[in-house]
Amino acid sequence: MVRKRRLKKLFSKIVGESRCWIEEEVCASYSYDAYPEKPVLPDIVVMPTHTEQIGEIIDLCNRLEIPLTVRGSGTNLSGGTVPVKGGCVMLTTALNRILEINKDDMYARVEPGVITQNLANAVEREGLLYPPDPASMKVSTIGGNVAENSGGLRALKYGVTDRYVMQVKFYDAFSNLVKSGGIPVKLVTGFNLKGLMISSEGLLGVISEVMLKLVPPPQARKTMLVFFDDVLDASRVVSEIIINRILPATLEIMDNFTIKTVEKFHHIGLPTDKGALLLIEVDGHPAAVEDEYVQVEKICRKYGGDVHIAKKQEDRDKLWQARRDTLSSLAMLKPTLILEDATVPRSRVPDMIKVIQDVAKKYNLLIGTFGHAGDGNLHPTILTDRRDEEEMKRVSEAIDEIFERTLDLGGTLSGEHGVGIAKKKYMEKEVGRGTLLFYERLKKGLDPKGIFNPGKVI
């Protein structure tokens, strides 16, 4: 306790006494995140209110040689904010100012703790669109989105966060403020350090400001919910839509288990006997939307799809409801939910669905599958109870098998949830020894004392 009191005294000089905590009940709140990992208490939690304080906090952690884990909203699904080696957890939630929305050059400049939805709303009021829309956007922060390179429900057409990052400012391990990128559309001065910070998962620096590209919103959109008897038919439709050079904004899938679970808890009128549903949204110029819609409908019907179209905004909201209620419904089935992130080339979605079905049977587990099928990004979601040791052993084997098979299909360990602690053990298999050694050298050079988020990724 003496050591912790000393820590509090030192950090208070930077952020003020009311913005740092050593009390166990507060530290416990920051000992875990959205990934079901064993909680670890930090020694201290600090909440800077000005971005300049970030550099001072890093400097102090370096001098004290204690770990620093940066935390936005803690919604990451890979254990990235669990302070596995204790030390300091720095919250970015009070760094939540939208500094500028520029309509002429179409960008927004924000602090890292801005909630994604708040940015999207502010931009929409100015008649523009910030496309990345992770399902967690009501709570996730822009800093977290950049550090995880988050995707979303519109990623198929609009891409993921990295496509929108024009500039990043960050503090390095030596407390220097580093800047990379800028407003010009063409900019090749210096190394692409903003690229380095994207997907860096808090290991290479602390992002203090982000400039994000905005785009004009689509003039029209058409939304449809399509039910199929067989999940494999639904996944074949996904491949065929893409093969026909149609890029919907949204192309989401949900299997029968997930449909039944959503209906059980939310009673929104989903047919529980159907094998799968697809939520499809096409957007753009009105004529193109109409044309794409006709083609998509034809493909769906070819595979026996029962197509429901939204005629007005109210209908659209209703169709989206099923997708929005997915995770909260699955979470009600069992005490522990493990949301995985298997991602394969789009043409292999039917094979991946089959893999997940086989694994669920083989290990006798409840697995609901939904996700961004158009991106090949499926979320097999295992419902379990981490107090049941025997079942957890089967869960672990099932996850190993899902990843083995994902890689065999030419896929990746993580389409959007990052590596953190969750995928660390599979890294060498996907990226190879040489790449891991490069990561290690890079990390050592940029953060010689290893203070930034130790125990993750490498």
Ligand X SMILES: Cc1cc2nc3c(=O)[nH]c(=O)nc-3n(C[C@H](O)[C@H](O)[C@H](O)COP(=O)(O)OP(=O)(O)OC[C@H]3O[C@@H](n4cnc5c(N)ncnc54)[C@H](O)[C@@H]3O)c2cc1C
Find the helix or strand (DSSP H, E) in which 54 lies.
helix 52-64
d(CA 282, CA 378): 20
Furthest CA-CA distance within the chain: 71
Yes or no: say if 281 and 250 are a contact pair by the CB < 8 Å rule: yes
User: What is the number of the residue whose Cβ is closest to ligand X?
Assistant: 144
Q: Does 74 bind ligand X (CB under 6 A)?
A: yes
# binding residues, ligand X (CB under 6 A): 36
Min dist. Cβ of residue 56 to ligand X (A): 15
Lookup result for tokens 């496509």: 163
Binding window for ligand X (CB under 6 A); candidates: 64-72, 224-232, 252-260, 399-407: 64-72
Cβ of residue 202: shortest distance to ligand X, in angstroms?
3
Retrieve residue 21's tokens: 């905590």
Answer yes or no whether residue 212 interacts with ligand X by CB under 6 A.
no
Per-residue buried b or exposed e for 65-103, using 16+ beta carbons within 10 Å of the residue's own CB: ebbbbbbbbbbbbbbbbbbbebbbbbbbbebbeeeebee
Residue 350 or 415 with smaller CB distance to ligand X: 415
- The span from the CA of 395 to the CA of 299, in Å, is 36
CA 88 to chain centroid, in Å, comes to: 24
| Dihedral angle, C-alpha 8, 13, 16, 17, nearest 10 ° | 30
| Contacts for 63 with CB less than 8 Å, ≥ 6 apart | none
Nearer to ligand X among residue 278 and residue 299 (C-beta): 278
Interacting span for ligand X (CB under 6 A) from 4-12, 57-65, 150-158, 295-303: 150-158
CA–CA distance, 329 with 239 (Å, rounded to integer): 28
* Candidate segments 65-73, 180-188, 234-242, 344-352, binder of ligand X by CB under 6 A: 65-73
Q: Binding to ligand X by residue 374, rule CB under 6 A?
A: no
Q: Compare residues 36 and 152 and give the one whose CB is closer to ligand X.
A: 152
Q: Which CB atom, from 194 or from 236, has the smaller least distance to ligand X?
A: 194
User: How near is the Cβ of 97 to ligand X at its closest, in Å?
Assistant: 14
77 touches ligand X by CB under 6 A? yes
Asked if residue 75 binds ligand X (CB under 6 A), the reply is yes
**What angle (nearest 5°) sits at the alpha carbon of residue 356, between those of residues 350 and 359?**
140
Q: Determine, following the binding rule CB under 6 A, whether residue 36 of this chain makes contact with ligand X.
A: no
**Considering only residues 51, 150, 239, 256, which one is a binding residue for ligand X as defined by CB under 6 A?**
150
Q: By CB under 6 A, tell whether 207 contacts ligand X.
A: yes
Q: Is the dihedral of CA 105, 107, 110, 112 positive or negative?
A: negative
Binding residue (CB under 6 A) for ligand X from 31, 53, 62, 76: 76
Binding mask 163-202 for ligand X (x = CB under 6 A): --------------------------------------xx
Q: Alpha-carbon Rg of the chain, whole angstroms? A: 22
Transcribe 276-308 into DSSP letters: EEEEEEEEESHHHHHHHHHHHHHHHHHTT-EEE
Q: How far is CA 340 from CA 34, 353, 367, 418, in A?
A: 12, 13, 10, 11
Q: Which is nearer to ligand X, 61 or 300 (CB)?
A: 61
Q: Which of residues 309-368 bind ligand X (CB under 6 A)?
A: 327
Query: What span, in angstroms and rounded, lies between the C-alpha atoms of 169 and 178?
Result: 6
CB of 199 to ligand X, least distance (A): 9
Site for ligand X in 399-418 (CB under 6 A): 416-417
Asked if 206 touches ligand X (CB under 6 A), the answer is: yes
Please tell me whether residue 80 binds ligand X under the rule CB under 6 A. yes
Output 202 or 218, the one with its CB closest to ligand X. 202
CB of 287 to ligand X, least distance (A): 30
Q: Which positions lie near ligand X, rule CB under 6 A?
A: 33-34, 69-77, 80-81, 92, 112, 134-136, 140-141, 143-145, 147-148, 150-152, 201-202, 206-207, 327, 416-417, 453
